[in-house]
Structure 1
Amino acid sequence: MQKNSLIKAMEPFGLALADYFLGKEVGDLFMNRDDGSKDKHPVEYYFRNPSDFSLFEKEALKLCKGKTLDIGAGVGPHSLELQKRGLKVHSIDISTHACDIMKERGLKNVECMSYYDFCDLHKENFDTILLLGRSIGFVENLNGLKKFLMHCKSQLNQNGNIIFDSSDLRVTTKPIHLAYQKKNQEEGSYLGEIRLQMEYKGLKGNYFKILHVDPDSLAKIVLESKMKYEIVMKEETGGGYLVRIFV
């Protein structure tokens, strides 16, 4: 494959995961923003052990109960821990490489598909719907978030929870990020809508959109959806937070 040709959005990420899992030489994994900003992500991070989980992750897993759907599960660090604790976990991801790795690591219920495709296929309800690693970003924008929450609402068993983390980008003071937010707003978009591209060993994926939602905007959408929420934890700096949403 030519290195200057674009491939599926998450394929570079999947290839990096596969190289690490198979013990091959691992290159640098980059996330490129459409304004030229570039961040390097260590591949080994996605294979971290429970002892290395953040406080957000540890608290989120404590809140999980019953039948759990792990969306954007990656290589399954959270699903594996929940399965070990005796919960019935369904793990989904759109990366075929990630799903193959989850199966190899011993997860029992793994499917390679989007959230909505999974729902159409299975028609199941859950006690917990979990999205960590800011996987909630897949909704792309505020309308997508409202659609997702309304869909989850119909999927939750009585006393069920939606648990995810996101980030309040308004706290930044970095000129490059402020300029990006300003450009979004001038174009009529929400400031937390981001366009990214994955890059690995010279291979670049198609651009895709993610959403980082601030707590105030989230609160408005949750209330419009006739649901309730609580901010479980907040970072002292950086804007990250963990939220639980319920009916």
Structure 2
Amino acid sequence: MGVLIRKNDPVGAAIWDYYTAAGKHLITVKTDIAEDEELSPEYLLRDFSQMPDIEQTALEKSTGHVLDVGAGAGSHALWLQGKGLTVTAVDISPYACQTMEERGVRDVRLLDVMQLKNEQFDTILLLMNGLGIAGTPEGLNLLFKHLKTLLKPGGQILADSADLLYLFTDEAGETWIDLNADKYYGQVEYRLSYLDIKGNPFNWLFIDQETLTVIAQENNLQVIEMIEGSNHNYLTALKNI
């Protein structure tokens, strides 16, 4: 996806404004599969007690040197630091990275994780639908291939996603999408804006558990656990083998 510039960084700008008390405006979220929604940046600065169960579980399972991918406002990194773990937090948002530094995250990197090389970690976190950065199932294969180079032997990836098939399923359990179509049904185009800051359109991936498992195995990543969430989402734990 590449590093953003500030004029195209709506989510980061909203986080920074909220954190610095410069404003509490909402982020507008547009997709090609649902009606427009609004997101409060307050949610991105929440503490551990406000996080969903699967996020809490992922943090509790994290060990060693942790790479927090798409770290946002740094809420996960700060909790892990508080538990004594070493955390490297990466994000493509300059405003988010600035916020993390101000909040006390010790190792903040403004970069696309695909640019990170020659380092290895015990745990790689991709939370808040963090696998979405892959964009497509093919992109997920490339992402896993790269993340494997960043994992120590026996290291783990902890990531959450969701299966969007329920959006295309009626009460009788019948689906009305072509599962053999060129475009995977969990590939969603997003357009985000905040005040007069408009982000570039991008693809975000929601991947079903079966497809994720196949792609993980193709990259010699073993699925250790799948933990169901409360809204068609799940946490997966993958081990480097």
TM-score between both structures, scaled by the size of structure 1: 0.87
Structure 1 unaligned spans of 5+: 1-6, 176-180
Is the 8 Å Cα contact of residues 16 and 43 (structure 1) preserved in structure 2? yes
Cross-structure match for 1:217: 211
1:197 maps to a residue whose letter is R
Match of 1:243 among 232, 236, 240: 236
Deviation, structure 1 residue 233: 1.4
Deviation, structure 1 residue 9: 8.6
Query: For the residues of structure 2 that align with 1:198 and 1:45, how far apart are their CA atoms?
Result: 16
Aligned CA-pair RMSD: 2.1
User: Does the alignment pair 1:165 with 2:160?
Assistant: yes
Identity of aligned residues (%): 31
Query: For the residues of structure 1 that align with 2:7 and 2:148, how far apart are their CA atoms?
Result: 29
Deviation, structure 1 residue 206: 1.3
Cross-structure match for 2:188: 194
Would you tell me which structure has more helix in proportion to its own residues?
1
Compared CA separation, residues 56 and 9, structure 1 to 2 (3 A): farther
Is the 8 Å Cα contact of residues 103 and 110 (structure 1) preserved in structure 2? yes
Is the 8 Å Cα contact of residues 128 and 162 (structure 1) preserved in structure 2? yes
Is the 8 Å Cα contact of residues 54 and 235 (structure 2) preserved in structure 1? yes
Query: For the residues of structure 1 that align with 2:166 and 2:203, how far apart are their CA atoms?
Result: 21
Structure 2 unaligned spans of 5+: 171-175
Compared CA separation, residues 34 and 170, structure 1 to 2 (3 A): closer
Query: For the residues of structure 2 that align with 1:98 and 1:227, how far apart are their CA atoms?
Result: 30
Cross-structure match for 1:17: 15
Compared CA separation, residues 57 and 35, structure 1 to 2 (3 A): closer
Deviation, structure 1 residue 225: 1.7
Cross-structure match for 1:150: 145
Deviates more, 1:7-16 or 1:22-31: 7-16
Report the 3-state secondary structure (helix = DSSP H, G, I; strand = E; otherwise coil) of the residue aligned with 1:213: coil
Is the 8 Å Cα contact of residues 195 and 210 (structure 1) preserved in structure 2? yes
